[in-house]
Structure 1
């Protein structure tokens, strides 16, 4: 369900609110839930709502996935959706003030449902806290603004002649100025939602933009902010007469859109455990890198979860194709940015913006902690063009990524079996639909020739 909202700063418990939307985030990063009258708000906040547990694992079109164990084998039983600690968010919909209540799911018996992506991230966060560590996380969200009247992605205005080479628009102040009122509204709406936003930049594609969301010591809040922010962008684009797309690769000849994740780890004294006072970082940082490198092939299915995702992960694109790392190297999947040592951190560059932020952050943080706990050793850092290196290749197709994810011992070491089962079943159902389709290119190539 896409939440079409116009968010205003208001008392989230305002009596004038006409209705409440209560929803969980499914494995695809889509909200699914119910609309109830505003008079039921207190009941929702106290008791939650009931929804089928299988609703978390539906496919991208919202169709039940019968290959998982929830839908038929367990009788499609209900789970309990409870409000998250975020609480109600004030909304206005077509002039009627309303509220959105973010939810997450547990079993009837009280245990967290580890098919819920937010619950999975919470379990990873709990492991960090048990170890006396706190991950400090930030995300970078890229997207395209497009003309909404076309079925295919179409730029708001024709790109300049030099744009095909993507040399003349990155960090363009002119492109930012062209959509200045849209950017202003995004910042205003985000502030009303409690979503902390930092810088906005123009990226290399036509009408492609990136927002940096503020870092923080609560990965659940950062993932919430990222999911909410995508909805904010969609709805503000609609308000201004265009559309926003979070496809990983909407144009075959232009840059893809990524969801880059930055993180450091602090100890109980608030010290960054990656900081050794110099540019190389600590042994703990390298152990975290080792865990990320080892888990990366198995985790690719989460970072590239759709048919379109793998069009972004191609050579010479600044999107990674190998499990490599390096210092200040944007061709690598793992980049250690420069700057003051106190801010030493890891940038994970594999995920597309079409991925579920809860699952992306959970997979990254869990793999890093696994490397730290095992005192793993990373390969040597790469320098220069990692596409030409001998680093291990990431899966290159959607089916191969799903196979590796399902069969990998590493994936089952860092993530719950329930999550892997539901995710793979849903994606294989989607894959089967794509495999049955006959594309326009196939007809144009074969219909009158072979």
Structure 2
């Protein structure tokens, strides 16, 4: 209650609060409450239907999750997460993140945040603390389609200049979007997020924003979901659309959500090597991530569009390779200070749920360390030339099947969330499969 009371006293202009939880797809769901309701939220929580955690990407019920009529669509109780109540830039509203519990107070099994917390707790029991940060890649698109009905990069908000070329790492190119970027940084600062470097990425209209490396990996995931919301809102305010699809343009690179992760112990970073070369801890961690990657790909590439991102020489990994200072592999050990030694996990697209990605990556690291799994030979040079791994799924359907049958993923996410997540993905696959795309008419209408 003191947090709510102090916040209201410090922000007399706040009139409403977005209360937001994140479902299996990472979609923010919840309500907007009025100022006078905030104290009650902190005192009693807020009842929400159990079905809110069993929705597909369109917000439709997925009955196979067992969260709808099997439970009479009864209520669970959502509670505000301490420390997440923040004002929203440019508005008279605030936002607070929520987590869902059963009415008896136990964590709701299908809430992705609890899955990540279980992995964090498992490491804590071993005297270790996962640390990390996500990278956020995204496109800025025009609200209007081009003459052919296709999406197109947004014009610069500064002067309306068109963006048509890949201006990777161009600093001058960034200046055309500075009014928007300034508001993104202001929104992040208000939310307590340390947004750092902005980059012009490897496609027209594509950008990357890096986040400060956190010693609390849960806060890293919170930062990512909140920053996506900030980018989307500020882009809209400037008359453009922020796009977090994994692959919006067929001819250009897609957008990843690389996850940098390390383990901190009493003596510091346990991934850091000594005079004898790579530590066994980081080698075994990589071994675990390699061994579990195939059955985990649905978490990293959860949508139909996700699978369009994986292509040779696209900076998206296509096999479970690892290497040092090498961006053609799936698991990269970046160059830099040995004290900051970490693994950059590169398979996930920006459309993935960061809570599920972090939970699955941490579970893979635990699996590797516990079983002392050898990572195999390091990839040197072009990782795209590596022989295909026959265990890796090649499309969304295969990834769903692999996830459904994975004992590892069931343990990583928990029984309830594993059932919920895979049921939602199967329902979405069925929706996509029965939809006739425009491409079918282009190819077959007048030819067969």
What TM-score bracket applies, with the shorter chain setting the length? over 0.9
**Does structure 2 conserve the Cα–Cα contact (< 8 Å) formed by 1:12 and 1:99?**
no
| TM norm structure 2 | 0.93
Q: Structure 1 CA distance, aligned partners of 2:163 and 2:174?
A: 15
The Cα shift of 1:210 comes to 0.3
The Cα shift of 1:159 comes to 4.8
What do the CA deviations read for 1:203-240 (whole angstroms, capped 9, x no partner)? 11001110110011111111011000001111111121
**Paired position in structure 1 for 2:104:** 109
What do the CA deviations read for 1:226-285 (whole angstroms, capped 9, x no partner)? 00000111111112121110000000000100000111111023x111112469521100
1:417 aligns with 2:422: no
**Does structure 2 conserve the Cα–Cα contact (< 8 Å) formed by 1:89 and 1:101?**
yes
Q: Structure 2 CA distance, aligned partners of 1:365 and 1:186?
A: 29
**Paired position in structure 2 for 1:239:** 237
Q: 2:114 aligns with which of 100, 119, 126?
A: 119
Q: 1:51 aligns with which of 37, 48, 52?
A: 48
1:254 aligns with 2:249: no
Q: Structure 2 CA distance, aligned partners of 1:319 and 1:208?
A: 15
**Does structure 1 conserve the Cα–Cα contact (< 8 Å) formed by 2:115 and 2:412?**
no
Q: 2:153 aligns with which of 145, 152, 155?
A: 155
**Paired position in structure 2 for 1:24:** 21
Q: Structure 1 CA distance, aligned partners of 2:9 and 2:424?
A: 35
What do the CA deviations read for 1:371-405 (whole angstroms, capped 9, x no partner)? 11222211211112222213525311111101001
Moved over 6 A (4+): none
Aligned residues: 432
Q: Structure 2 CA distance, aligned partners of 1:243 and 1:326?
A: 36
**Does structure 2 conserve the Cα–Cα contact (< 8 Å) formed by 1:262 and 1:347?**
yes
The Cα shift of 1:313 comes to 1.2
**Does structure 1 conserve the Cα–Cα contact (< 8 Å) formed by 2:53 and 2:67?**
no
Structure 1 residues 107, 148: closer, same or farther in 2, change over 3 A? same
1:139 aligns with 2:134: yes
| 2:269 partner SS | coil
The Cα shift of 1:12 comes to 7.5
Q: Structure 2 CA distance, aligned partners of 1:310 and 1:204?
A: 18
Matches within 5 A, 1:10-409: 14-91=11-88, 95=91, 97-150=92-145, 152-157=150-155, 159-160=163-164, 163=165, 166=166, 169-269=167-267, 271-277=268-274, 280-390=277-387, 392=389, 394-409=392-407
| 2:36 partner SS | helix
Structure 1 residues 278, 267: closer, same or farther in 2, change over 3 A? same
Uncovered stretches (5+) of structure 2, i.e. residues with no partner: 1-6, 156-161
Structure 1 residues 211, 279: closer, same or farther in 2, change over 3 A? farther
**Paired position in structure 1 for 2:4:** none
Q: Structure 2 CA distance, aligned partners of 1:12 and 1:183?
A: 30
| 2:88 partner SS | strand
Uncovered stretches (5+) of structure 1, i.e. residues with no partner: 1-9
Q: Structure 2 CA distance, aligned partners of 1:282 and 1:123?
A: 26
**Does structure 1 conserve the Cα–Cα contact (< 8 Å) formed by 2:8 and 2:14?**
no
| 1:259 partner SS | coil
The Cα shift of 1:433 comes to 1.1
Structure 1 residues 415, 383: closer, same or farther in 2, change over 3 A? same
**Does structure 2 conserve the Cα–Cα contact (< 8 Å) formed by 1:144 and 1:246?**
yes
Identify which range, 311-320 or 251-260, moves more after superposition: 311-320
Q: Structure 1 CA distance, aligned partners of 2:9 and 2:361?
A: 33
What do the CA deviations read for 1:76-117 (whole angstroms, capped 9, x no partner)? 222110111233211367x5x122121010111211112111
What do the CA deviations read for 1:166-213 (whole angstroms, capped 9, x no partner)? 5xx111112111111111111111001101111111111001110110
Q: Structure 1 CA distance, aligned partners of 2:144 and 2:83?
A: 36
> Superposition RMSD on alpha carbons, in Å?
1.7
